[in-house]
Amino acid sequence: MISVVNGVTSLSLSSSDRNICEETVDFYSDVVGLDVQELNSNTTVASSDETKFTVQIVHSKDSRSKDDTIRERDALLEQCKVADWRSTVSSVSLQVSDLNSLITALRLRRYPVQVTPNELYPNEVHTIDPMGTLIGFTTKSNPMTVVPPVVKLSKNVVPQSAPMSTVHSDLYNTDHPAKRRNIAVMTSGGDAPGMNANVRAIVRAAIFRGCKAFCVMEGYEGLVRGGPEYIKQMSWQDVRGFLSEGGTNIGTARCMAFKERAGRLKGCKHLIEAGIDALIVCGGDGSLTGADLFRAEWPSLIAELRDTKQVTTEQYETYKHLNICGTVGSIDNDMATTDATIGAYSSLARICQAIDYIDATANSHSRAFVVEVMGRHCGWLALMAGIATSADYILIPEKPSSSKDWQEQMCQIVSKHRSKGKRKTIVIVAEGAITSDLQHISANDVKDVLVDKLGLDTRVTTLGHVQRGGTAVAYDRILATLQGVEAVKAVLSCTPETPSPLIAIEENKIVRKPLVEAVKITQSVATAIENKDFEKAMSLRDSEFVEHLNNFIAMNSANHNEPTLPVEKRKKIAIINIGAPAGGMNSAVYSMATYCMSRGHTPYAIHNGFAGLARHESVRSIDWLEIEGWNSIGGSEIGTNRSTPEDTDLGMIAYYFEKYQFDGLILVGGFEAFVSLDQLEKARIVYPAFRIPMVLIPATISNNVPGTEYSLGSDTCLNSLMDYCDVVKQSASSTRDRAFVIEVQGGNSGYIATFAALACGAQASYVPEEGITLDQLESDIKSLRESFAVDSGMSKAGKLILKSTNASKVLTTQVLADIIKSESDGKFDAKTAIPGHVQQGGLPSPIDRTRAARFTVKAVEFIEDRFEDIAKHKYSVDFAYDDATASSTAAVLGIKSSHLRFKSIRHLYDFETELGKRMPKKISWADARDIADQLVGRTRIEKPIGV
């Protein structure tokens, strides 16, 4: 252990490990702020005239080994937990002007920190440099003296922003790679909303893990040009405000030079010059193909640079392997092996918003509109927009027909819709739409057919680059953030033998996929289309794409074509909304009814919940024209309330079920719907009318239904709350030195507060699962003071704190704001903002619309498949309450990790539910809270949730 006398003005440090030497140089340069001068390849001097302090760092084979350094550091770190460091080893003391900023810098770089006298009012701070030297800082002019051991604020501080026991770099954590990594991120190809959120997450996640973060400006063009202008080191503050901005702030450009080996050779050299050993690329399949080719060629490229003396042998040994990871930024959602790409749902939101507007004028004039959307090789946008807006017809490249067939089919469907009383016609055309002989179908071609053959007053709207514009929706911000954090983890854990990973999402789970395989499958779709092998092209799309297409075709033929089921298999199926309104409820009713009609079932709507049924016999068969346009309407058109069957009249409900001879029931709602399904299932033993398949589709902004990680309405709520927060944050930024405490709905669930914080970059979020402790509040106020000090005078410096309504009954939103303002020492102001029921949203989001369609189709299929399992017990006098097969016919349809599944209400209610709290026992989104805190540098006082 190297120890020096307190007050010494110079140090000489040495190690046999070059990485440790580089770490030490970075510490004295980046943190202490000394000027660095390299005397030779083995000796560097860091000094400052202002501090009168000089450090000489020497790389010598005769010095201590890396293992010895780690052992000595570990011993000192252990002492940190029980004693004051200064009582165990001598230290060097330096005077600084701003101790709070220094503490923030140390923690952001994950150096161990010990503060005296306490965390709230720091007077002195100590840390350990990579060589094992104890370095102290103070604002006092006299040297520090030994004091009694420091007592930590809490014994359970979670290492989110590097409290005392957290370490700076990989050197101090044997679970990490041995070398401090330099990670670069670049965006390439077409821009997509959410790319900025991805860049922000990568930069901050890299810094949080003790790495240096770089941005390659202007995509591959910047890589080829090189230099500090194009390969920039990024600080924590450099990505402030990125979340709410569209496009990509670090630029993207086409680069023909990189397609040639000479261009890639330049890129290799420039990365080595910048010291980068890991590259994360956010782009489409072309960009990721280039990235993987770059990695494959890297050994030959760096060898050529060594042989031509453009890099040294030492540089060759240090950078002979390049780790690459891909995150997919593409509005087309055309990448195989992932359910969604960054920007796709933002683009879909623009399209749906435009078509919703067009709907009104089309209906007013009884016109037809042909809307052209992007998608040269992929029809995902056109397909999902068709489902979300109830379009009459779509044309996509994956499912073409002959020139004659598509015209006849479209005219037939449009004519039938018009004959049923529909006043408007919407046809959506992907820009890559083709005939079966590969002839392009333009929007004007479609217009001519509608005018010439049907005589419709027709207009063409080409949305163009509007689809790329604007800020990202909540889903894309969250997806981009989670994928960015996972990408950093991936490059840090990859070895030279690990295939380049692609960060993907399956249902609700972030996963790693082989990048080469994903790109290969994606590009083979275009090849299959060129070869007119459309069946293969469809098979190469993920199963969800095919599922959505089949659903659209089925719902689009509702009540107009011959049903697909024989008469004897047709059922009477009812749908009911229970609980508070949620975005997507109307979409669920529309999708259920139209799919039932296409199959031959008779759909019924039970209006105004169970109370309406028991008191007013509120059962109505659903008319196709009546529900036309419901997809884009918020709230609940059939009415909803919180009354459960037992709250009203269970016997009367059974009577009406028997009267209408329902063969199946779909409940759409939140926790009240969950309780209702349990009551109906239990009542089967007394009331045979309930011995039918019953399915709950969770729909609540609180997302608190056991058995699922996603509920309809939660995405609509997040978007509404995110828009609200963006406006409030803009106000806070304009005023400077102001924080807003925003009250968030969600009952006893912190889901909305957590993911809104992730989407908006809130400084803290308080949720019912954790409550609000005084220790945590004290820590957060201290963090706010430091943050405002760092951001003083800067733009985009507004601060938000989100507080779930039920996080604390004592610390209300106003009380929190008053406390924060009182404890701010006059450095900043604190206000409240309460969005209230605005959070329920207006128009449902495209995600809630399309998932409602998917879920209701699954629910109808469940009723069809499971009908016989319970029907055989319909009038059995010895019906067994605990019959497992019968019990499984009352189920919750939900997303669990990477699966969409049905789960018995009996199992969920009895084993996975906290009834008193109206919550599932296990919280699926706890990890998201950790990430939200990490990316704003928040220290969270440990209180485990969801265990």
Q: State the pLDDT at residue 81.
A: 55
How many CB atoms are located within 10 Å of the residue 422 CB? 18
Domain spanning 10-172: CATH 3.30.930.10: no
Region 714-842+928-941: CATH code = 3.40.50.460
Examine residue 566 and say whether the peptide bond preceding it is cis (omega within 30 degrees of 0): no
Separation between Cα atoms, residue 671 and residue 702, nearest integer Å: 9
Whether 347-468 shares its CATH topology with 565-712+844-915 is answered: yes
Query: Is 367 marked as a binding-site residue?
Result: yes
Residue count of the chain: 947
Q: Is 268 annotated as a binding residue?
A: no
End-to-end CA distance of the chain: 42
Burial 47-78 (b: 16+ CB within 10 A, else e): beeeeebbbebbbeeebbeeeebbebbeebbe
Kind of pairing, strands 940-941 and 919-920?
A: unpaired
Catalytic site positions:
332
287 in a known ligand binding site: yes
Predicted confidence at residue 11, as pLDDT, reads 80
pLDDT in tens, 429-438: 999 999 999 9
pLDDT in the model for residue 164: 26
Per residue in 311-343, pLDDT (tens digit) is 999 999 999 999 999 999 999 999 989 999 999
User: For the residues 844-871, what does the mean pLDDT come to?
Assistant: 96
Chain centroid to CA 80: how far?
Answer: 37
Q: Is the pLDDT of residue 943 over 80?
A: no
**Which band of pLDDT confidence, cut at 50, 70 and 90, is reported for residue 879?**
confident
Distances (CA, A) of 678 to 46, 111, 705, 707, 900: 70, 52, 13, 13, 21
Note the pLDDT tens digit of each residue in 437-466: 999 999 999 999 999 999 999 999 999 999
Tell me whether residue 838 is annotated as binding. yes
The correct answer on CATH 3.40.50.450 for the domain covering 565-712+844-915 is yes
Q: Is the pLDDT of residue 149 over 70?
A: no
Over residues 622-649, the mean pLDDT reads 94
Instruction: Give the pair of three-digit tokens for residue 414.
Output: 């449009």
Q: Are 133 and 144 in contact (CB under 8 A)?
A: no
Reported as a single tens digit per residue, the pLDDT across 364-385 is 999 999 999 999 889 999 999 9
Question: How far apart are the C-alpha atoms of 254 and 188, rounded to whole Å?
Answer: 8
Listed ranges 178-182, 234-238, 410-414; the one with the highest mean pLDDT: 410-414
pLDDT band for 179, please (50, 70, 90 cuts): low
pLDDT of residue 163: 29
In which band, very low, low, confident or very high, does the pLDDT at 172 lie, cut at 50, 70 and 90?
very low
| Superfamily of domain 347-468, CATH level 4 | Phosphofructokinase domain (3.40.50.460)
Mean pLDDT of the chain: 88
pLDDT of residue 496: 86
Q: How confident is the model at residue 156 (pLDDT cuts 50, 70, 90)?
A: very low
Q: pLDDT at position 157, please?
A: 36
Predicted confidence band at 1 (pLDDT cuts at 50, 70, 90)?
Answer: very low
Question: What would the pLDDT profile of 688-744 be if each residue is shown by its tens digit?
Answer: 999 999 999 999 999 999 999 999 999 999 999 999 999 999 888 887 788 999 999
- Rounded CA gap, 530 and 542, in Å? 19
Average pLDDT in the 751-755 region?
96
Q: Which of 930, 17, 941, 23 is nearest to 489 (CA)?
A: 930
Q: Which of 170 and 284 is assigned the larger pLDDT? A: 284
Residue 745 labeled ligand binder: yes
Distances (CA, A) of 529 to 289, 397, 518, 534: 20, 8, 18, 6
Q: Which residue has the tokens 């704001």?
A: 817
Between CA 3 and CA 90 the distance in angstroms is: 6
| pLDDT of 758 | 96
pLDDT digit string, tens, across residues 910-933: 999 999 999 999 998 989 999 999
- Establish whether 704 is an annotated binding residue: yes
For residue 256, with 0-12 CB atoms within 10 Å meaning exposed, 13-18 middle and 19 or more buried, which class applies?
exposed
H helix intervals, 700-750: 714-735
Compute the distance between CA of residue 644 and CA of residue 282 in angstroms, rounded to an integer.
48
Does the annotation place 747 within a ligand binding site?
yes
Mean pLDDT along residues 628-648: 94
- Give the pLDDT confidence score for residue 793 in this predicted structure: 66
Question: Are the CB atoms for 353 and 442 separated by under 8 Å?
Answer: no
Of 854 and 827, the structure prediction assigns the larger pLDDT to 854
Question: For the chain, what are the domain ranges?
Answer: 10-172, 182-340+472-522, 347-468, 565-712+844-915, 714-842+928-941
pLDDT at residue 20 tops 90: no
**What is the mean pLDDT of the segment spanning 16-21?**
86
Q: Predicted confidence band at 82 (pLDDT cuts at 50, 70, 90)?
A: low
pLDDT single digits (tens) 563-602: 999 999 999 999 999 999 999 999 999 999 999 999 999 9
Residue-level pLDDT at 694? 98
> Which single residue is written with the structure tokens 């609000």?
772
Across residues 815-826, what is the average pLDDT? 92
Residues 540-569 have pLDDT tens digits of 887 789 899 999 999 998 877 889 999 999
Q: What pLDDT score does 80 carry?
A: 62
Percent of the chain topping pLDDT 70: 91
Looking at the DSSP bridge assignments, the partners of residue 699 are 712
pLDDT per position as a tens digit, 207-221: 988 899 999 999 999
- What are the pLDDT digits (tens) for 767-817? 999 999 999 999 999 888 888 877 766 777 789 999 999 999 999 999 999
CATH architecture of 182-340+472-522: 3-Layer(aba) Sandwich (3.40)
Q: How confident is the model at residue 148 (pLDDT cuts 50, 70, 90)?
A: very low
One DSSP character per residue, 376-440 reads SS--HHHHHHHHHHT-SEEE-TTS---HHHHHHHHHHHHHHHHHTT---EEEEEETT-B-TT--B
